[in-house]
Chain A
Amino acid sequence: MNPSSPDHHLCSDHCGENPTVWDLPHVPLGLKREWLDLETRRHFLGQGVKALGWAGLATLLGRSAPNLLANAPIPGAPAMLPHYAPKAKRAIYLFMAGSPSQIETWDYKPTLADLFDKDLPESVRGGQTLTGMTASQTRFPIAPSLYKFARQGKAGRFVSELFPYTAKVSDELCVIKSLHTDAINHEPAILQLTTGNMFPGKPSIGSWLSYGLGAMNAELPTFVVMTSKMPHRTNVQALSNRLWSSGFLSPEHAAVALRSGSDPVLYLNNPKGIASDVRRAMIDGVNDLNRQLFERVGDPEINARISQYEMAFRMQTSVPELTDFSNEPQSTWDLYGPKAKEPGTFAYNCLMARRLAERGVRFTQIFLRSWDQHSRLPTNIKLMAEDSDQPTYALVTDLKRRGLLDDTVVIWGGEFGRTVYSQGALTPDNYGRDHHPRCFSMWMAGGGVKPGISYGETDDFSYNIVKNPMHIRDLHATILHLFGLDHNKLSFKFQGLDQKLTGVLPSKVINDLLA
């Protein structure tokens, strides 16, 4: 490797033990230069910034020229800084995996009642390709919601009787009825919501926030994920860490998944017979070896590993304190309901999310699965609502009364919508609904989101959007905006692209949602 003489080409079999891109023939010089540039930057960022911090910044600024960087972005400032002052410091994302029907929940369609079992007009469907689950149906009979809606709160929003508790915080919610997505199946759709891309390998929203803003509490992960026990199991999709991975960002930006049960983080406790100081000495030894390796090869991933060891050690103290609910007063249990005492339930996870928010964890994502009601929807959606309604209300209420809702944004929703027509047989008290990416509903609350409003409209069949369509990318751009981040500027160079959460297709912040 001889970067100083870029025109010196070596044959591929003379690369030595550690060939680099530089040594390869047939690689355009420009690409090699870009690689060199990237390497230098990675090394600077990898070893530089964290060590640099304020002290390094001060050196950069110099005593005599303190205003040198006054108007420039501040390299080496502690963590990266928001592009503008944020409204939200944290987010709690209640991911309703499997996708609850918008028609029974937030997209009230009173005129459907008169259309029971009528065929969905072909003009509405517009020749759309359906999933294999309903493509062979000879009829597409309209299934009105079996659940009633009533006006709630000062804003008079229609809220489904499935959510008697959430109805009480209706005025806090900003309901978006015009979201649309690209995928019609769960896996790509969930990935698109969590990472902005249907294909695995991209960083999650929480990882981007961690990368862009750093940690508020160095003792806990910046990004935490929890999966929830289900009140029933029907059509449950697998979840895995590709939904909360850091993709091409440094591994320290990946979520830590808290497990239910007595051991929320696996292997965090010391093995029997190993005292804390022994563990400390072992970590010091391993870190020393890693540092030596880093000095030799300069791979920033080694530093990420060191920081992960350190984080794990700190979590040995911080996690037991976090998960010890014994100091919660009775009012907490009254609010969240009795299930909050059972680790792993959605109620428990909501309470945990509040405790994480209190301690400065930036992004908490709770998954609740089994909303995928292709059949027996009326029965199963009720089970799901009964399990999640009170804890959801409790979380919003608890954050609000503790003064945390102002800078914590709560997000609720699935990965797509569901069809207005019944999948399978339609009877007066039973039906199912297939996947529907053309429109679905979500809500957000707090953290600089305008409370009490609805955004976007669908047609009378909740099939097509007729006003203010909002793509997933727009949702992502808007979430980043709440955190003071410009989605076009929060980027990371990878595979020759300035990668962004919102990708390369058009996306925009929806200003109408901002308080």
Chain B
Amino acid sequence: MTSWLSRAFSVARFVRSGKAALFSVARFVRSGTAASSARRPSLLSRAGLLGVASLVIAVSSSRAEDTFFAQRVAPIFEEKCVACHGEKKQKGKLRLDSFAQLMRGGEGGGVVKAGAPKASELFIRVTMDPTDEEFMPADSKPPLTPDEVKVLEVWIAAGASETALLSSIKGAPALAAPQGPTVALAPDWHPRALQIAQLEKTLGLRLVPRSHVPTDGLVLRTASSPGRCDDAALAQLASVADLIVEAELARTQITDAGLTAIAAFANLRALDLTRTAVTSAGVGKLVVLKKLESINLTSTAVDDAGVAPLRSVASLKNVWTFDTKVSPPGPR
């Protein structure tokens, strides 16, 4: 049972995003019956975690462990302190990887005086002048944030309890808003990296990942040489069509014929056709794009009849028609 408690802390930290069902992961792990199945959150895919969670619900029946210590205090120790005060190292003979260890104190005695943060060595060390050699964390490791210091302060002031519930201790800064679940906008592009490289080279356009998240899709970018991007070029993008989430085609050479290729960009959300030769006759082809959120038709020849079919695209939020025959022309 290797440092199962610190793992529990990690999971608790990961879990505090507010999904009630997931809290039971911490409970499960803390019970120690299946610590080996609790992995560090960084290794856990969301789906995997959910799997563990549902398993837990079936196994465990004790009450949810929603304590202030487990949810707020332990994660701080885990992130900022346990590297030197934990299972592997015990500098100053102090361990902070469990409540019992914390209360046992270090070589100088107890580090927490319940009810009195300013008389608690733990609190004193993290709030003293950072240039003081007794300041913790030592060796220029990242100091506690003001919010983290505040959490320690209110927890000690409230009695430094292991069992006090999260809701019973007031005054702690709110946690950062939990990151929403990552929605896959497109398949992972990595398996097609070679194709992408070749297409960029032969077509003179760019296929840029939108972010580090591999399922955030690609931007089809033509700003460097819009003159090289024409209907024929678009037709050659079939093998990566489902990866393209944004298509920046302003000022390119494309015409209505090119919109056939674009209609195959099934995951397309934003399409810029500013100052292209597309017309009302072609725009109707785009109604098959069920994820399209914005389309920019500025300075094109489209008219009311051309944009009318777009009304059937439920996902569409913005249609820009400045400098076209569409009425009314633009917002002002």
Interface residues of A (CB under 8 A from B): 53-55, 57-58, 61, 63, 66-67, 69-71, 73-74, 77-79, 81-86, 215-219, 329, 331, 358-360, 397, 400-403, 406, 484, 506, 511
Instruction: Check: B327 CB closer than 8 A to any chain A CB.
Output: no
The 8 Å CB contact of A484, one of B196, B211, B224, B250, is B211
- A-side contacts of B224, CB under 8 Å: 215-219, 360
- B-side contacts of A55, CB under 8 Å: 197, 201
Task: Tell me the smallest distance from the CB of A479 to a CB of chain B, in Å.
Answer: 17
Across the interface, name the chain B residue whose C-beta is closest to A57: B193
- A-side contacts of B197, CB under 8 Å: 53-55, 57-58
Within residues 173 to 228 of chain B, which ones have a CB less than 8 A from any CB in chain A? 177, 188, 190-194, 196-197, 200-201, 206, 208-214, 216, 221, 223-225
Task: Tell me the smallest distance from the CB of A424 to a CB of chain B, in Å.
Answer: 41
Give CA–CA (A58, B190) in the complex, Å: 9
What is the size, in residues, of chain B's interface with A at 8 Å between Cβ atoms? 41
Across the interface, name the chain B residue whose C-beta is closest to A318: B224
Instruction: Check: B6 CB closer than 8 A to any chain A CB.
Output: no
The 8 Å CB contact of A78, one of B208, B212, B298, is B208
- B-side contacts of A81, CB under 8 Å: 208-212
CB pair B191 A66 closer than 8 Å: yes
Give CA–CA (A408, B324) in the complex, Å: 22
Instruction: Check: B108 CB closer than 8 A to any chain A CB.
Output: no
Instruction: Check: B320 CB closer than 8 A to any chain A CB.
Output: yes
CB pair B200 A329 closer than 8 Å: no
CB pair A85 B188 closer than 8 Å: no
CB pair B190 A70 closer than 8 Å: yes
The 8 Å CB contact of A216, one of B209, B223, B274, is B223
Interface residues of B (CB under 8 A from A): 145-146, 177, 188, 190-194, 196-197, 200-201, 206, 208-214, 216, 221, 223-225, 248, 250-251, 272, 274, 294, 296, 298, 318, 320, 322-323, 330-332
The 8 Å CB contact of B208, one of A73, A79, A358, is A79
The 8 Å CB contact of A70, one of B214, B251, B274, is B214
Which secondary structure dominates where chain A touches chain B? loop
CB pair B331 A400 closer than 8 Å: yes
Give CA–CA (A215, B208) in the complex, Å: 11
The 8 Å CB contact of B193, one of A58, A216, A358, A360, is A58
- B-side contacts of A506, CB under 8 Å: 145-146
Most chain B C-beta atoms within 10 Å of own C-beta, residue among A58, A67, A79, A85:
A85
- B-side contacts of A402, CB under 8 Å: 274, 296, 298, 320, 322
A69-B190 contact, Cβ under 8 Å, with A402-B298, A406-B294: yes
- A-side contacts of B145, CB under 8 Å: 506
Q: Given contacts A67-B191, A85-B213, A397-B332, could you give 12 more A-B pairs where the C-beta distance is less than 8 Å?
A: A58-B196, A70-B188, A70-B190, A81-B210, A82-B212, A83-B211, A402-B320, A402-B322, A403-B274, A403-B320, A406-B318, A511-B177
CB pair A58 B194 closer than 8 Å: yes
Across the interface, name the chain A residue whose C-beta is closest to B225: A219
What are 6 residue pairs bridging A and B, where the CB atoms are less than 8 Å apart in the complex?
A: A57-B197, A66-B192, A83-B211, A359-B223, A401-B298, A401-B332
Task: Tell me the smallest distance from the CB of B193 to a CB of chain A, in Å.
Answer: 5
Give CA–CA (A323, B190) in the complex, Å: 40
- A-side contacts of B331, CB under 8 Å: 400-401
Give CA–CA (A216, B213) in the complex, Å: 19
- B-side contacts of A82, CB under 8 Å: 210-212
Give CA–CA (A402, B248) in the complex, Å: 14
- A-side contacts of B194, CB under 8 Å: 58, 61, 63
- A-side contacts of B332, CB under 8 Å: 397, 401
Task: Tell me the smallest distance from the CB of B145 to a CB of chain A, in Å.
Answer: 8
- B-side contacts of A215, CB under 8 Å: 224
A-B pairs, top 10 by smallest CB distance, nearest first, are A360-B223, A403-B320, A54-B197, A217-B223, A403-B296, A66-B191, A58-B194, A401-B322, A401-B330, A218-B224
Give CA–CA (A84, B250) in the complex, Å: 24
A84-B298 contact, Cβ under 8 Å, with A216-B223, A329-B323: no
Task: Tell me the smallest distance from the CB of B305 to a CB of chain A, in Å.
Answer: 21
CB pair A77 B209 closer than 8 Å: yes
Give CA–CA (A216, B248) in the complex, Å: 10
- A-side contacts of B250, CB under 8 Å: 358
